[in-house]
Structure 1
Amino acid sequence: MRRPSGWRAWIALAVVILLLGTVLLVGDGLAPEPTPLPGPPQNAPRVLVALGDSTVSGEGAGDYEPGTDGENGDWCHRSPHASINETGLQPIDRVYNLACSGAPSPQVGLGDVEQYTEPSQAKRLAPIAARNRVVAVVVAAGANDEPAFSHVLNACVEAWTGRGRPCGETVGPEWSDRVEAMEPKLTRALEDVREVMRNAGYAESDYQLVVQSYAAPVGPDVVADLQDLSGCPFRTEDLEWVQQKAVPILTAGVREAAAKVGARFLDLSRAGVGHEACTHEKDTSQEWFRRLAVEWEDLQHEDRATHALQESFHPNEAGHEQIGRCLGEFLNTPDRAAACLPGRDGSLHAATSTGS
């Protein structure tokens, strides 16, 4: 067969090109369109959500929500005075506090871990995100993993009684390793939160994910007359270790986990300086943390006795109010990181942090 030549060859080539273009166009038109995820509800109520442990549940602030004060084994101690309720952020239609006292990171994330009978906090976040316009998710977690911060404070109290060496000596050498072991667990929990929000149709730019650290509830400026069972039974060297080493190292670990998931970070490590438990002998209104607190009536009941000291060394109502105000200021800024520090008015304010 002879090949077309001359002008006939050019016509043939043009026909082939047109046919090929038609096939490509038809093929593109038949390709299935990816199913878009539902976007975050635009006209639904705007809400804040808190996930985490006692520092955000409201432990120490009192007036606990029915069902979270020991009923049926639930000791999550969620309070209407918790910091997430004190942000003053506008316009916000509702606050959901899913935090639970003592919660480890795996219970904050997805999975089957329970805390005081309550299931995964991240799973409970999913329907909230679907029904509402979530403005921010605030997470405080990590201290109840390997660091076991509350148990460390208990060890410090035992050291004061003379039944052990200073906790700074017994725990101090392994503290950095404990915090390092905590980091991947907290990171995974934060990744789970991201996954829940992504599955609800949220892009990371649609909401704020804020991770906050922990404040030192006690410090070396304790009033000498209160350095006993009447308030703060700690050795001075342990008070110094908690404020100057334990809390800063824990803060660095939480900051690292936040950075790995692109979350904003609020540093509370110095939020209580000058307002720790037992720093004001007569004017306790200046203290933002509970002293050694004993619910004497609970000691009379077997099912409550083991929780009679649960509120000790947590932010009190005033402390939650201060932290909440600082959190609200931070949420209103574009800063990736900030620290809650006292201003000239004596209250906490969000100061831009360079350690983001």
Structure 2
Amino acid sequence: MARSRWWLGAFALAGVALLVAVFVLMTADQAPDGRTGPPGRGPLTVVSIGDSTVSGEGAGEYTAATDGKDGNWCHRSPNAMVNHIELRGVTEHVNLACSGAASKHIRLGDKKQWTEPSQALQLKELVKDHRVAAVVVGIGANDEPKFSRLISQCFTAWFSDEAAPCNENIRSDWDQRVDTMVPKVADALNDVRTVLREAGYRKEDYQLVLQSYASPIGPDMPESLRNLDGCPFRRADLRWVRDTGAIDLAAGLQRAAEKADARFLDLSRAALGHEACSGGEDKNSEWFTRFTVRWSDLEHADRANHAIQESFHPNARGHRQFARCMSEFLPSTEDSAACLVGDDGNLHPAASVTAEHGR
């Protein structure tokens, strides 16, 4: 009788072990807490972090708080790309980007841009009452490459008949400057990850995407607009910015994304045929602002220095196109892609530009 009970106990124990094994196999791919998305509470949200290319500079209708009030010139616009991104389940869009920001203004720390604390610290506050599904980052051009300053230098060179094209000076250390930028952008991305990890996020709970910069100008424009009425640049500089500067910058940013295990969306050729002044008399096909002066700002000493700040930035049409491409890229499984104009005239993610052009 005792032996019989021993066999029954052994069978029961074996049965329990089998059930445990089956349960482990069934739940091996599930999170310990059973959740299927970002932790915390609040609406599912997509967030933008970075500089003027994502804040909405050039897209107009800036929020009052970021259009010079108390020294804040972040120029956030409701027309900015993040507000047009469509992602399943997302109901809120939050723009933390600030015009003029560099990587140091993203990172955890005490660096401020236009009176605002670091964007990583702002994200840290945001996750207390938002569930972040994606963070879209556009940063790097205001680090060593000084891409916006490069545009300004080429703008200035147009005024002098005797000066050499500005790209001749820029090329001498351009590659080195891009290389110096790479670890700074990677560190900024890693700080974004740190914020989310400390808030209880796993990597699979959200997407982190770094995007590059579309060339705002190109050589294909009427000669009548190569002046202060549109785009005052030398053709050699227009060609270098589009065909070399923007693509080299994208290659560096892709390396930064890889270092931080982030996804990468290449915009370096996204505006091909839609750059500022490319439409001639019809601006409606252009995705970037031409030389722009906010004349009313010139009437106030504290605003005068920002009167041409919108020039050569994505306009509202450009932001909608970039958002279209990002919306298609986010649900995909690709680690990287390039936004290129399709047969329908709109942007779509495709094979990388770097590979396509053999650079």
- 1:75 corresponds, among 73, 76, 83, to 73
Q: How does 1:48-67 map to 2 (within 5 A)?
A: 48-67=46-65
| In 2: Cα distance, 1:148 partner to 1:169 partner | 16
Q: How does 1:194-233 map to 2 (within 5 A)?
A: 194-233=193-232
Which protein is bigger by CA-based radius of gyration? Answer: 1
CA shift, 1:355, in A, is 6.3
Q: Contact conserved, 1:258 with 1:265, CA < 8 A, in 2?
A: yes
Q: How does 1:99-110 map to 2 (within 5 A)?
A: 99-110=97-108
Q: Contact conserved, 2:40 with 2:127, CA < 8 A, in 1?
A: no
| In 1: Cα distance, 2:164 partner to 2:69 partner | 37
| In 2: Cα distance, 1:99 partner to 1:119 partner | 11
Unmatched segments (≥5 aa) in structure 1? 1-35
CA shift, 1:62, in A, is 0.4
Deviations 1:60-117 (A, max 9, x none): 0001112000111100000011011111223211111000000010101111111111
The amino acid of 1:307's aligned partner reads: H
Q: Contact conserved, 1:68 with 1:74, CA < 8 A, in 2?
A: yes
CA shift, 1:352, in A, is 3.9
- 1:87 corresponds, among 73, 77, 85, to 85
| In 2: Cα distance, 1:165 partner to 1:237 partner | 10
Q: What secondary structure sits across from 2:306 in the alignment?
A: coil
| In 2: Cα distance, 1:301 partner to 1:254 partner | 38
Alignment CA distance shift 1:354-1:307 (3 Å):
closer
Q: Contact conserved, 1:41 with 1:131, CA < 8 A, in 2?
A: no
Q: What secondary structure sits across from 1:195 in the alignment?
A: helix
Deviations 1:144-201 (A, max 9, x none): 0111111111110111101732111011111111111111111111110110010011
The amino acid of 2:218's aligned partner reads: G
Q: What residue is the counterpart of 1:164 in the other structure?
A: 163
Deviations 1:127-149 (A, max 9, x none): 22232221000100000011111
Q: What secondary structure sits across from 2:302 in the alignment?
A: helix
Q: What residue is the counterpart of 2:113 in the other structure?
A: 115
Q: Contact conserved, 1:271 with 1:348, CA < 8 A, in 2?
A: yes
Q: Contact conserved, 2:40 with 2:128, CA < 8 A, in 1?
A: no
| In 1: Cα distance, 2:39 partner to 2:317 partner | 35
246-255 vs 81-90, greater mean Cα deviation? 81-90
Q: What secondary structure sits across from 1:297 in the alignment?
A: helix
Q: What residue is the counterpart of 2:5 in the other structure?
A: none
Q: What residue is the counterpart of 2:8 in the other structure?
A: none
Q: Contact conserved, 2:157 with 2:233, CA < 8 A, in 1?
A: yes
| In 1: Cα distance, 2:64 partner to 2:299 partner | 21
Q: What secondary structure sits across from 2:65 in the alignment?
A: coil
CA shift, 1:43, in A, is 5.8
Q: Contact conserved, 1:278 with 1:291, CA < 8 A, in 2?
A: yes
Q: Contact conserved, 1:62 with 1:81, CA < 8 A, in 2?
A: yes
Q: What secondary structure sits across from 1:193 in the alignment?
A: helix
RMSD between superposed Cα atoms in Å:
1.7
Deviations 1:260-304 (A, max 9, x none): 011000000000000000011122100000000001111111000
Give the TM-score, by structure 1 length: 0.87
| In 2: Cα distance, 1:336 partner to 1:291 partner | 33
Q: Contact conserved, 2:293 with 2:307, CA < 8 A, in 1?
A: yes
Aligned residues: 320
Alignment CA distance shift 1:354-1:315 (3 Å):
closer
Q: What secondary structure sits across from 2:135 in the alignment?
A: strand
Alignment CA distance shift 1:247-1:118 (3 Å):
same
Q: How does 1:206-355 map to 2 (within 5 A)?
A: 206-353=205-352
Q: What residue is the counterpart of 1:19 in the other structure?
A: none
Q: What secondary structure sits across from 2:45 in the alignment?
A: strand
| In 2: Cα distance, 1:208 partner to 1:352 partner | 20
| In 2: Cα distance, 1:165 partner to 1:119 partner | 40
Give the TM-score, by structure 2 length: 0.86
Q: Contact conserved, 2:60 with 2:77, CA < 8 A, in 1?
A: yes
The amino acid of 1:245's aligned partner reads: T
Deviations 1:233-268 (A, max 9, x none): 000000011011111111111110000011000000
| In 2: Cα distance, 1:292 partner to 1:114 partner | 28
| In 2: Cα distance, 1:108 partner to 1:160 partner | 34
Identical pairs, percent: 53
Unmatched segments (≥5 aa) in structure 2? 1-31
Alignment CA distance shift 1:353-1:63 (3 Å):
same
The amino acid of 1:332's aligned partner reads: P
